[in-house]
Copies of this chain bind each other. A is one copy, B any other.
Amino acid sequence: MSEYSAPLRDMQFILDDLGLLARLQALPGQEEIGSDLAQAILAEAGRFASGVLAPLNSVGDRQGARWNDGAVRTADGWKHAYKQFVEGGWNALSCSPEFGGQGIARLLSAAVEEMWNAANVAFGLCPMLTRGAIEAVELHGSAALKETWLPKLISGEWTGTMNLTEPQAGSDLAAVRSRAERNGDGTYRVFGQKIFITYGEHDLTENIVHLVLARVPGAPEGVKGISLFLVPKVLLDASGKPDARNDVRCVSIEHKLGIHGSPTAVLAFGDRDGAVGWLVGEENRGLEYMFSMMNAARFSVGIEGIGLSERAYQRALAYARERRQGGELGSASREKVAILRHPDVRRMLLSMKSRVEAMRALGYEVALAMDVASGHPDPEVRREQQAFVDLLIPVVKAWSTENAIDIASLGVQIHGGMGFIEETGAAQHLRDARITTIYEGTTGIQANDLVGRKIARDRGVAALALIARMRDCARRLPRSEDALEPIGHALDLALDALERGVSCIVQRHDQQPREIALGAVPFLQLFGLVAGGWQLASSALVAWQRLQDGTGDPAFYRAKLHTAQFYACHLLPTADGLARVLTDGGESALEMDDESF
């Protein structure tokens, strides 16, 4: 049985060797986050993830959350684990110190989040959704709302949810029909049915704070007539203690392919006289507020993809070391070897490992950019870094999650027949990962965001700036070195392909949005692939320098070189084909009659 072990050494490599921690320390107020403190936080989080959350992962999968007459019971042990999570201060890690949070930089909290998701993604969803609710109230709520709700949300004493989806309004939130009537005293009565509400009902805490999209009377049609409300499960008494049940009820929970431990609720608001709610911000600006939080949520789902991938890799690797089958290829000996010795198994493992490391390095780079974009004294630097964040969010979200599905599927494959047996655990990762390319905006939606809002709108400026930065990295790899030459060469070719893709979008998007949309997902995959290649090229350069200098553990740095070489020679060669799909994909998919599909 494989145990989860937080990849602290790889995380440290990114923070220290790739210099991300040093860049964080250069920000005002972050001077004291030294390597030792960072390592201490990550090690402690790793212990909690391995010791408390990981053992509950299969329990949650097997038992699932269970609905009974409107109440939802989480799986055995989950309530206690959540209590420990809150008591350990983990919920408050990245939240604002003003209301009790610890204000840890996004760079570090991203690493911690990766661990929660690797250990138990169904559990990790609960604090992730709470963070979303916190952010909504913090950014847009009144002082009174903040004082009432933030301290308990930040401590984790209460959890939060995001209520967007309705049966007819999924990707298209303009179709939201839930409504909110003004009571005249500043409160509202909310009516409507919401579906797919993660942790919409559960037994972990005494109260749940729902953030709900609904329309007020007289609101304009479409996206500009949606308001955001805070609707608690339990109303508070005068002293702020949970008192009477509000008019919101969990009608059912879904029977899902994966993340069984996480209850996905259908919530009915206002079946009696309306659920009491408080407006967040101003009327009719709810969707705008949602969008302002969406970057954070999408980034977090990208981190889910990284965590799930790491976990699937660790499990497959443990099996590949332990399972002996067949003799060594090309050897006369008939002695059985661990399947790790078989070239195709090594190929699959390195395909997993190299992508995990590429996704992680890219994800943390974006996390750091969030810290810089909010904390740097120079507004020009802040603007630049925010543009980088905005450009990369759809890539981190969609590329990391598409990879996660493929990586979890390879994890099943490495287990052979045992991978198909549920008790092995590999199949759960695939089932769990399968939702990550769908929620918080499907891969198609991320790709349209990347191509339309993030590239066409600024005529490719942010994308070309990043390409220049990546080319600079490629140039720094000495081509005279055999270990680095193939990496630099492959990255150069892949960057050419990416640049052709960006040019194509800039030139054609406005006139031919439907044609460009046909190639948007392949282009997003190309973008992620190349950005990951950039990160691994940086890793390889640093590793090579360490080996030259004779500092650190040579086996570790040699592995970094081999991992980057594998990515360069096995994964980057697909870049050109992906670019061609965008630039020369043709219009057959648009020309095909609807009836002829």
Contact with B along A400-415 (1 / 0, CB 8 A): 0000010001001100
Q: How far is the CB of A80 from chain B (nearest CB, A)?
A: 27
Cβ of B417 and Cβ of A196 under 8 Å apart?
Answer: yes
Q: How far is the CB of A414 from chain B (nearest CB, A)?
A: 9
Q: Which chain B residues lie closer than 8 Å to A574 at the CB level?
A: 574, 577-578
Q: Known A420-B258, A434-B412; judge A562-B577 contact (CB<8 A).
A: no
Q: State in angstroms the CA–CA spacing of A222 and B597 once bound together.
A: 52
A-B pairs, 4 with minimum CB distance: A559-B596, A343-B517, A344-B444, A565-B588
Q: For the side of the interface on A, what is the size category? A: 35 or more
Cβ of A416 and Cβ of B596 under 8 Å apart?
Answer: no
Q: State in angstroms the CA–CA spacing of A577 and B577 once bound together.
A: 7
Stretch at the interface among A39-47, A182-190, A234-242, A325-333: A325-333
Cβ of B514 and Cβ of A588 under 8 Å apart?
Answer: no
Q: Point out residues on A near B: beta carbons under 8 Å.
A: 165, 168, 170-172, 174-175, 195-196, 222, 254-258, 317, 320-321, 324-326, 329-330, 334, 336, 338, 340-350, 353, 405, 409, 412-413, 416-417, 419-423, 427, 430-431, 434-435, 437-439, 442-444, 447-448, 486, 513-515, 517-518, 520-522, 555-556, 558-559, 561-563, 565-566, 569-570, 573-578, 580-581, 584-586, 588-597
Q: Known A256-B420, A555-B595, A556-B596; judge A350-B589 contact (CB<8 A).
A: yes
Cβ of A592 and Cβ of B344 under 8 Å apart?
Answer: no
Q: Which chain B residues lie closer than 8 Å to A596 at the CB level?
A: 555-556, 558-559, 562
Overall SS of chain A's interface: helix
Q: Known A256-B420, A256-B422, A413-B438; judge A586-B573 contact (CB<8 A).
A: no
Cβ of A326 and Cβ of B172 under 8 Å apart?
Answer: yes
Cβ of B559 and Cβ of A592 under 8 Å apart?
Answer: yes
Q: Which chain B residues lie closer than 8 Å to A585 at the CB level?
A: 569-570
12 further A-B contacts with Cβ under 8 Å, apart from A256-B421, A413-B438, A559-B592, are A255-B423, A257-B421, A257-B431, A321-B594, A329-B514, A350-B589, A353-B597, A555-B595, A569-B585, A573-B578, A573-B581, A575-B577
Cβ of B434 and Cβ of A592 under 8 Å apart?
Answer: no
Most B Cβ at <10 Å: residue of A195, A258, A558, A591: A591
Cβ of B175 and Cβ of A416 under 8 Å apart?
Answer: no
Q: Known A419-B438, A420-B434; judge A326-B570 contact (CB<8 A).
A: no
Q: Which chain B residues lie closer than 8 Å to A346 at the CB level?
A: 518, 589-590, 592, 597
Which residue on chain B has the smallest CB distance to residue A255?
A: B422
Q: Known A258-B420, A576-B576, A589-B566; judge A171-B325 contact (CB<8 A).
A: yes
Q: How far is the CB of A466 from chain B (nearest CB, A)?
A: 22
Cβ of B341 and Cβ of A594 under 8 Å apart?
Answer: yes
Q: State in angstroms the CA–CA spacing of A341 and B514 once bound together.
A: 10
Partner of A172, one of B165, B336, B597: B336
Q: Which chain B residues lie closer than 8 Å to A420 at the CB level?
A: 254, 256-258, 434-435, 438
Q: State in angstroms the CA–CA spacing of A522 and B416 once bound together.
A: 18
Q: How far is the CB of A213 from chain B (nearest CB, A)?
A: 16
Q: Which chain B residues lie closer than 8 Å to A592 at the CB level?
A: 346, 350, 559, 562-563, 566
